[in-house]
Structure 1
Amino acid sequence: MQATSTLDQAEAPPPVKSRSFKRAFADVREAWDHRELWGHLGWQDIKQRYRRSVIGPLWITISMGTTALALGLLYSVLFDTNVPTFLPYVTAGFIIWNFILGCITEGTDVFIANEGLIKHLPAPITVHVMRMVWRQVLFLAHNLVVYVVVLAIFFTALDHPYTITKGGIEHPGLSWTILLAVPGFALLAVNAVWVALLFGVISTRFRDIPPVVTSFINLVFFMTPIVWDAGVLQRVTGGGDNNWRILIAELNPVYHFVEVVRAPLLGHAVDWHHWAIVGGFTVIGWFAALVILRNYRARVSYWV
């Protein structure tokens, strides 16, 4: 009996250390294997939010449409732009920004908000991040209805070369390149997961992070070309050799994440450097998230 027991112990696989990249990767992989769970929970979040509403999730679409229309008309007057081309630009940008905003703000609170499930549900902590990102994808799907309506109304203004601002860059117009928005959004969703993992774990330990991020994100919105076109920077500074002022937009990483999705939707040519910057942030961000997950994954249940 003793010899058999010793043999079994020798053949047993070595235990996986809780602080290892192998365990961090396993947490993400197991979360993906539980996609039926977080997919169902994400749907339930939508249903619960609008359970007693007459038109339900359509409020998401109405709210987005009203905001995009108001901002588009207001800033088209301020910047003296053509409404048929500027309104679709603002609409697409605001829809994508709303997804980014939701992933960042809810990502910082993702583990705190799921305290009960974390303590009682034996599941990888990445499941809660996947649930939150899936919920934001559903919101985005509702908001895309506004984009389709605006595109149908102003299609004749976008199906040929056009400019958004007077004297601005000429864009080629809508074509089959609109399909590039699919891989662009896939990259956006992949980055949303690591952002929520990274900031979610840190915010669970330091509860001052969520309000700081919420306050800072408002500044990022106005610094990002969403309700204004990057070409405006050249026009208001007199053009000429003032191209360096475009760095106000280029140094903002959110701008590149917005562009890889918005540009194809509007028939703009997506510069290669947008894909390169987004790809670089994807690699660096996931590495940082996996390091945090490796070191502090086991402590999240004690911090919440």
Structure 2
Amino acid sequence: MDRPTRNLPADNHVHTRWSWDTAESSSMQLACAHAVQLGVPGVAFTEHVDFVDWSGEGTTDVARPAEVGPRPRVVPFDVDSYLADVARCRESFPQLRILSGIEAGEPHLFAQSVASVLRAGEFERVLGSLHAIEHRGVLTGVGHALFAELGTRELMTRYFTEMVTLVDGSAAFNVLAHCDFPRRYWPTERAGRYRETDFEEQYRAVFRALAASGRALEINTRSPLASVELMRWWWQEGGDAVSFGSDAHTPLRVGEHFATAVDVVEAAGFRPGRDRFDFWRR
């Protein structure tokens, strides 16, 4: 594989076998090897931290929905084994900046459970994400079925509204991941092409809340890639930091589409930060 002719940013959103939805073959070692080959200077292993009910060990979360919908594959996060794997990779790949981290799902609803995980180890990159919204008293995963039931306008509006609540209601994370996650499941055949401009005010509301909190917005290259215009809305609403994340669940997707994402973020007015490992900034 040819190395890129320009510097790439660090990948701040990578999953490995320690995430419940990622294959055992997706090892940290393979992800690091691909990052080195591609010229990505650093990776953050941000494994999924999700919960199946409203109470973890020694915690009781404030539950707004009556119940958590089915999450049959979710398992507890093995913090000790994960951190040991990070330490081994740091020894094996000294040329990489390797950060520990988690992707906290619905951290505003599972505040105490997330805090319990964060107390169990040192985590340098914490992503906040919203994969589910309340529907009929149940925390329900966003996907094709919910689009079919709610319709496109209602689902997206409810999602963005809940995203503002997440930003305002949780201080646990430092990067907001995939702010428009449902568009991965957008029913193009029925609803036509997804247009960011149809939800401009909703995006801007999320961006205003996030900018006021001083945290970074992720450009997620697994999702349909954000437009220059959308990243300019982030700038206009006061956002001053952008994080790049591949959301890779297999090693070969680390750093995927980063050259294009760099072009998008640069065209919106952001520039590399203090060093190659920093967020891009105003």
Flag the structure with more relative contact order, 1 or 2, with Cα contacts below 8 A and sequence separation at least 6: 1
**Structure that is richer in strand per residue:** 2
Question: Which has the higher Rg, Structure 1 or Structure 2?
Answer: 1
TM-score after normalising by structure 2: 0.26
TM-score (norm. length: structure 1): 0.25
Q: Which is richer in helix? A: 1
